Amino acid sequence: MNIGEVARSSGVSAKMIRHYESIGLIRASSRTLAGYRQYQERDMHLLRFIRRARDLGFSLEQIRQLLSLWNDPGRASADVKRLAEAHIADLDQRIAALSDMRETLVTLAQDCHGDHRPDCPILHNLAEGQAQSSS
């Protein structure tokens, strides 16, 4: 398989496959005489693994660890679980941060007339910045 085909069937762009190779996330593939990268079925599975882990929000560094566990028949599932739970905690933090922003903005937007007049609590809040006395 050329890089284009494995890209299509794994959902990882050719650009990214080359990048993952360059940072050592995946091993360099064999090449044809002309220098074209050649991939096997197992490379496709590896890339799909990476793709799914990315879809779950794991960073490439975390994926590096996941791959090393995946390739270790003597791994402890506790190690995988620990990685997953650390990532869940990170997601929780990011969700909380975004939700806080959202809540503040919704409150401000609700109080904004949204008409032709210039007066606006959103700008007022940004300019004067006292904590909202909402609820």
Q: Which residues of the shown chain bind a copy of itself in the complex (CB under 8 A)? A: 11, 45, 48-49, 51-53, 55-57, 66, 69-70, 72-78, 80-82, 84-85, 87-88, 91-92, 94-95, 98-99, 101-102, 104-106, 108-109, 112-120, 122-123, 125-127, 129, 131-132, 134
Nearest-approach distance from CB 19 to DNA, in angstroms: 4
Compare residues 57 and 114 and give the one whose CB is closer to DNA: 57
Residue 58, phi-psi category: left (phi > 0), alpha (psi -120 to 50), beta (remainder): beta
Sign of torsion, CA 16 17 19 25?
positive
Residue 135 binding: pick among a copy of itself, DNA, none (C-beta 5-8 Å cut-off by kind): none
Q: Distance between CA 28 and CA 39 in Å, rounded?
A: 10
Q: By the criterion CB under 7 A, which residues form the site for DNA? A: 2-5, 7, 13-16, 18-19, 32-37, 54, 59-61
Cα torsion through 112, 114, 118, 119, rounded to 10: -20
Contacted by 5, from DNA, a copy of itself, none: CB < 5 to 8 Å by type: DNA
Q: Provide the 3-class DSSP secondary structure of residue 95.
A: helix
> What is the three-class DSSP state of 108?
helix
Which residue, 11 or 18, has its beta carbon nearer to a copy of itself?
A: 11
Instruction: List phi, psi (to 5°) of 30.
Output: -75, 165
